[in-house]
Structure 1
């Protein structure tokens, strides 16, 4: 399963384990707008991470997520 998580990076280690605060998951749909599920403090094991990046908060705050449509994210194949 592929998740799109966003949050404030609070910590990490040499195995790329991450600690995210104020985190939420964005769930995409072709029929409804983007749904945001609040997760709060979240710990992610490094071997489950594929991409980490910095978010432009100003650009992100200007998005109208209720009108955004996209196909749900597909699972990653190994």
Structure 2
């Protein structure tokens, strides 16, 4: 199984860490994901093609949203 790495950037292009301790939650299409020790998201090629909505709340209280228009690489 392959994974593709994605990073969440703020409006100034600065990476938003997704690791445990930096976020309150990460949601994919409304479902909670479990943060780990990675600052980025590793997205499995097993996910079907389509749009995935992500919501991230940092421990500072800022909420970010992003849409990933996914096309599998295999």
TM-score (norm 1): 0.28
Larger radius of gyration: 1
Higher strand share: 2
Higher helix share: 1
TM-score (norm 2): 0.29
